[in-house]
A and B are shown apart, each in its own frame.
Chain A
Amino acid sequence: MTTELFTGAEMVVKALSALKVKYIFGYPGGSVLDLYDAIFQQDEIEHILVRHEQAATHMADGYTRATGEVGVVLATSGPGATNCVTGIATAYMDSIPMVVLAGQVPTTLIGNDAFQETDIVGCTRPIIKHSFNCRDLADIPNVIAKAFYIASTGRPGPVVVELPKDLLIPQNKAPFAIETNPTIRSYNPNIKGHPKQIRKAAKAISEAKKLVVYSGGGVVIANASELLTTLVETLKAPVTNTLMGLGGISGTHDNFIGMLGMHGSLEANKAMANADVILALGVRFDDRVTNNVEKFCPNANIIHVDIDPTSISKTINAHIPVVGLVDIVMQQLLDELSAINFIPDEIALKDWWHQINTWRDVKSVSYKQVEGEKIKPQRVIEAMYRITNGEAYVASDVGQHQMFAAQYYPFDKPRQWINSGGAGTMGFGLPAAMGAKLAFPDKHVICITGDGSIQMNIQELSTCKQYNLPVVIITLNNRSLGMVRQWQDMVYDGRHASSYMESLPDFIKVAEAYGHVGIQIDTLDELEPKLKEAFSIKNQLVFVDVLVDEKEHVYPMHIRQGGIDDMWISKGVKA
């Protein structure tokens, strides 16, 4: 019997099939034409042609954030691959599993400054979890399997696989063999919390008088929101989410005290500052959370649970570090609490909640809308929430609109909120929304954006047309780069250096030019009816351009270099 031989291009497709990949997001070019030819000749995997490779990475990313499945990107060598860099960095910062297949010039030309040659493995080294230079045809299937395994386990992240053209061409063939559950001797993601640490953590929790649960993106990634809810309800404790962790517990849950950090609620930040025990779950004490680390929560005994040891005690010292997958550790904690017959301290809880409710009463997340005046951006988010019953997938760009969405759209479920939290990548929103819409065509998928961000990947309106991805784009149009402008108002005496968009396009005409529907909203009385109209249109992308008050700032906001609870709650007013 002769062994069947395959080209490298065929092997890539077979490997992806074996790994149950449904979509590849990409853009063709010289070095990957053989691979495109192989994709063309099968129908198990659908290729989505974007208009710019950056959008391919964000679309894969949005698909992953919505579904949990590993996103796959395909780009040609040189500029195709370098265009992926921002999207890879975005995925890396938010721990999103992604496999990027990047073409490369033939091995014989590598290092010769050949046409469209870039050392993409070198370019991406600081922003990937791992990368592979494929140099042997027969290795392709297992390299791809390993890439998936590394991308999706432990703390997830992007993996780059470089595929030189001579490995893909029809002239070279080899037998196909793949181990879809590979083992890597140097890579053993630590999964279970150390029992001694679990006991310590449970003891600290059971003795706490002012406990706060601080949960982040790790809980969402680990699909652990049910466990989080059970844990919070067992402890009867207040819970705050990071920007990445929103939806980890329902935004309408009684114990939820809002997002914390730079634009978090006063009650969340105050609770953190006054806590005696902080149970940190799948978070990394980001500078947008902590404010000045020297002043961070001075009285708190910090239990830090994370799968990545480097996140623990990096910025804030953890008193009880627990390395492990957050879902497993939460279950261990619940078991241990039950073993020690944990009963919540009702008296302490009563005092603690009373205190928290006094902070809640400040209503730090609020704004004033005067009838007849310009639409406040927050009002748009609230309308959007009502009309979609809070059930939409909301993919955000970066800026004021992102913070308003985080504050005013309580997410009931994890993965509903899709945003570039760590990298803060403008241009992320539209392609990410497209990825979510591809996964959930029957759900409302919103791209909440601004007049600055939307223009960073607006060409994808064309991809939406080609693949019928009727997302609802809501642009909070303030004719300026709002967050930049806000900082300039607050820190630079109102000098608006380059934060003003002087020649905005007519977004309605842009949308129509791409074959979509455009809806313009200029006044408050139009807001609700026209937004309803936008969401009632099925099977067509609707671009809603809402003129909002350009002077509105995002509040509350950390006072720079202060403690976590030092906040502006409105212009010139400190908490």
Chain B
Amino acid sequence: MSQIGPIFRSLMRNKVGALLIALQVAVTMTIIVNAIHLINARGDLISRSSGLDEDNQFYVTSVGYATDFDAPYVIDTDLDAIRKLPSVTDAVQINAIPMSNGGWSMGLQTKAGEGENSVPTALYMTDEHGLNTLDVELIAGENFKATEVSYRDRNTRDWPQSVLLTEALATSLFPDLSPTEIVGQTVYIQSNEPLTIIGIMDHLQAPWTGWTTINHAMLVPNKFDSPYSRYLVRAKPGQRDEAIAQVEQFMKQRDVGRMVRETETMTQVRMDSYRGDSALQAILWTIIVILCIITALGIVGLVSFSINRRRRQIGTRRALGAQKSDIMSYFLTENILVTSVGIFVGVAGSIALNMWLVSSFNLPRLSYIYLPIAMLTMWVIGILAVWGPALRAAQISPATATRNV
């Protein structure tokens, strides 16, 4: 490090190669900081809690085809039987599967009437087994009673009087009230139809993973009278696969004029739902690795070129008393100086790019913890890249100084 002064002055007189390396480091750092930021932001999305007992849940679809198919009868008797299977904790007919990116949404408002502000929410129809099957806890109020649950079909316009809301939805509607105070309040669906909030759920996600109000969800005590029916089943802990086999076997053996199809675990639903995000993460990681390799190779190339150009100079230094470690130290110090310039430009570039991404694409603001990590990474890449060429430079014979060709 005692050579910093002369190295710096030497670099100032021979800027082009150094600037190229610094620029490459700056661009790489700018891109990898924001790419890692995006990867982590996607990771946060992917790892969000759905509120479910995903490891033990699955859904199975039943499609009635018989002309005399009696949906309410089949649904009720199916559910009674499934709930009694030894590997099953609970089961429910549900109109939409969380994270499946398909479902119902409605608007709720605290005042009746057209034109009042409404808050969007996902709508799940279940019976009184919904909370237990979904593994959702009530933090205030009470569950539906079996007597409140009714069947509806696609022509039904009325809504049941009771409703359960997630805490996020409830506090969005009544920001000044506690969950306990919200229980008993009235909200309006379809502008004028009143619903009484009888309970507040801790957490349940809407089906759409990209939705900005993903934590807004409500349960209504309805079952759907349709030949097409989805059962969400919660198995006993660790018994999901047995439960799938038992449920499928039961449903297929039952001769009620229906087909059983599309059994999918919630783990698979999550993977399918976030496949695009996972792919983006993989692509960004690939870009980061490629960029780091290109930068390292760029440094290797330019340093090797610089060393070849200075073989006589290195030999002269060795002749004048430089030890091999002095030559190593010279090139490592030179590289650290150049890399540092690139890194500090890269810090500014990272922040600027993030500001543009935030303003243009509404992405989250950069966490500044990435900057020191990226700086350290770029220094390490720089040192590793220059290590080999510097080692070769240190092997240059001092006798090179006296060679005239």
Q: Do A and B bind each other?
A: no
A contact set with B: CB distance below 8 Å: none
- Interface residues, chain B, with chain A CB atoms under 8 Å away: none
